Amino acid sequence: MHADTDVLLAIDVQNDFCPGGRLAVPGGDEVVPLINRLAHNFRHVVLTQDWHPAGHLSFASSHPGKEPFTRIEMPYGPQTLWPDHCIQSSEGAAFHARLDIPRAELIVRKGFRREIDSYSAFFENDHRTPTGLGGYLRERGFTKVVCAGLAFDYCVRYSAEDAKALGFETEVIAAACRSIDLGGSVGATHKSFAERGIALS
């Protein structure tokens, strides 16, 4: 059993990121039993949920003539355009039906502002607007954040980077993640974790 100061952050285990979903991550559903098992060894678990309004500006469909998986410049920097996904209250935004962590203490919803995407559970994609999770974890006295979920090279990556930057000991459980793998994003994630001292196991 993990220490009382450790928290498992289970990231975006939602239907739209699983096979059959609108932004399916290959093998995304395979993380479900692994994360369920992992959660049994943690006293504390926090879930995140990608939660976009219709017409979100990270959707290619909001930019006439633009295709999913291309990039545009937003006021806060480059933004990859995605298929419509995880629309608030849709079935695609729901957690995978077999995710079974009733003990989870907090659900952090992110990406709910139309004008800005939020990969990280801690900051939106401007890297400045906080979600509140950093303050919550600090106030609760957690010192270590263990990350797993979807997608390894997007929301898991940026959540882990921000957890580390905020001073939490940070670990990513690679076996309990799956990747989108776009334009070298998996390699970039490994490089970033090595540079920042984020443990990958």
Return the residues of window 152-181 that contact ligand VGL according to CB under 6 A: 154-155
Q: Is 151 in the site for ligand VGL (CB under 6 A)?
A: yes
50 tagged catalytic: no
In whole angstroms, how close is the CB of 134 to ligand VGL at the nearest point? 18
CA separation (Å) from 195 to 103, 147, 160, 167, 200? 34, 17, 13, 15, 12
Pairing of strands 77-80, 71-74: antiparallel
**Which two three-digit tokens encode residue 96?**
């995978």
**Which two three-digit tokens encode residue 67?**
């295709």
Residue closer to ligand VGL, measured from CB, 101 or 150: 150
18 tagged catalytic: no
Bridge partner list, 73: 78
Return the residues of window 117-136 that contact ligand VGL according to CB under 6 A: 119
Bridge partner list, 104: none
- Residue 8's binding partner out of ligand VGL, Zn ion, none, with CB under 5 to 8 Å set by partner kind: none
155 tagged catalytic: yes
Catalytic residue among 6, 155, 164, 177: 155
Return the residues of window 63-82 that contact Zn ion according to CB under 5 A: none
Helix and strand counts by DSSP (H, E) for the chain: 4, 8
Q: Which stretch binds ligand VGL (CB under 6 A): 30-38, 63-71, 148-156, 162-170?
A: 148-156
**Which two three-digit tokens encode residue 181?**
């793998």
Return the residues of window 30-59 that contact ligand VGL according to CB under 6 A: 50
Q: How far apart are CA 144 and CA 8, in angstroms?
A: 9
Q: Give Cβ neighbours of residue 128 (< 8 Å, ≥ 6 apart).
A: none
- Chain residues in the site for ligand VGL (CB under 6 A): 12, 17, 50, 82, 119, 150-151, 154-155
Which residues are known catalytic residues?
Answer: 12, 110, 155
